[in-house]
Amino acid sequence: DAGVIQSPRHEVTEMGQEVTLRCKPISGHNSLFWYRQTMMRGLELLIYFNNNVPIDDSGMPEDRFSAKMPNASFSTLKIQPSEPRDSAVYFCASSYWDRTYEQYFGPGTRLTVT
């Protein structure tokens, strides 16, 4: 298995621009998680999906952030408009729905907003 795939690996954008991060979970996994990691705040759960349905989005910082999972093999996290404080590493992870304690992480997308 290829593991969780994320793209792009690096993104540099200017404040105010739209940013879209992409994730392909491990085949067969039906739970998907989006995290943000910074030095100051560590790893924070933004949102997670079960069977393509958002279950908990309480970690999404504000309305500028949105996430979708149109099918079992693809998810996006969008930031519009982006701000410098959004600069972080964004991770996607996946698991089986009944084994959410066993998550597999992607390599992350390093986002820099100038």
CA distances from 53 to 20, 26, 32 (A): 19, 17, 10
Nearer to other proteins among residue 14 and residue 102 (C-beta): 102
In angstroms, the CA 22 to CA 71 distance is 13
In DSSP notation, 30-85 reads -EEEEEEEETTTEEEEEEEEETTEEEE-TT--STTEEEEEEETTEEEEEESS--GG
Does 73 interact with other proteins (rule: CB under 8 A)?
Answer: no
Specify the residue for token string 């491990």. 26
- 27's tokens: 């085949």
| Residues 77-106 interacting with other proteins (rule: CB under 8 A) | 91, 93, 100-106
Looking at 27, 43, 112, 114, which residue binds other proteins (CB under 8 A)?
43
Minimum CB–partner distance for residue 81 and other proteins (Å): 27
- Only one of the segments 12-20, 42-50, 60-68, 77-85 lies at the binding site for other proteins (rule: CB under 8 A); that segment is 42-50
Is residue 45 a contact residue for other proteins (CB under 8 A)? Answer: yes
Number of residues that bind other proteins (CB under 8 A): 21
Minimal distance in Å, beta carbon 111 to other proteins? 14
Binding site for other proteins (CB under 8 A): 4, 33, 41-45, 48, 55-56, 91, 93, 100-108
